[in-house]
Amino acid sequence: MAVSFANVNSEAGLKKLDEYLLTRSYITGYQASKDDLAVYSSFSAAPSSKYTNVARWYSHIDALLRLSGVTEEGKGIKVESSAVPVASTPDVAEAKAPAADDDDDDDDVDLFGEETEEEKKAAEERAATVKASGKKKESGKSSVLLDVKPWDDETDMAKLEEAVRSVKMEGLFWGASKLVPVGYGIKKLQIMMTIVDDLVSVDTLIEDHLCEAPVNEYVQSCDIVAFNKI
């Protein structure tokens, strides 16, 4: 089901989005996608820092766009117009509910789409932890930009990227990438990844996976260009 948001330039819209991002790093899924880009583009200005979760998400997407762009396909979202509506409820845009079965008499409007039982349980547990600790929620994730350098100008960069992405670990999510000219016909691969801090060590990932067989057939070295908590 597509997710729907009210006017994100209004107090009510920002509050709803802030609550939605309390237990999420991205609008949908576990990687930055075109859904994030759609919501990001609907802002007329950077959100106030008092909306902690929105400000954190906005800064992260802004950084991704500056570094490598967002290319992951989205799941579909809807953002209401930023213009102030003329209706009697100026701060809340009405969300069009999906067609219901004849025997469905639930009139509640779900602005953010249906969540699975697992998502609801995870959100409840995270909210309970935040309430108990009295601290702001920490995502426990980091966004990392890597420079991956080939052996020489004859290295097949498509196979190099394929080898890098073949590394699979719990808590590791590969993102956008691009080739950057270095000189003398040589290019390096810049690739984004999101990691769950408690599950993935970047140093271990590089030393034990990216710089070892079979990946090191194509990869000479890897360097961390940017490392940001999200």
Q: pLDDT tens, 51-66?
A: 999 999 898 888 888 7
What does the block give as tokens for 30? 């576990």
Residue with tokens 């597509």: 2
* Dist CA 54 CA 22 (whole Å): 9
Would you give per-residue pLDDT tens digits along the chain (230 residues)?
567 887 888 888 889 999 999 888 888 888 888 888 888 888 988 898 899 999 998 988 888 887 765 555 566 666 664 444 434 444 444 444 444 454 444 444 444 445 566 666 766 776 666 566 554 445 588 999 999 999 998 999 999 999 999 999 999 999 999 999 988 889 999 999 999 988 899 999 998 999 888 899 999 999 998 888 87
CB atoms within 10 A of CB 26: 22
Q: What is the pLDDT of residues 179-209, one digit of tens each?
A: 999 888 899 999 999 999 888 999 999 989 9
- Provide the strand spans (E) within the chain: 3-5, 77-79, 141-150, 172-183, 186-196, 219-229
Distance CA 93, CA 4 (A): 10
Residues 60 and 145 sit within 8 Å (Cβ to Cβ): no
Residue 193 pairs with which residues in a beta bridge? 144, 174
Task: Give the start-to-end residue ranges of the domains of the chain.
Answer: 3-133, 141-229
Topology of domain 141-229, per CATH? Answer: Alpha-Beta Plaits (3.30.70)
CB 74 within 8 A of CB 38: yes
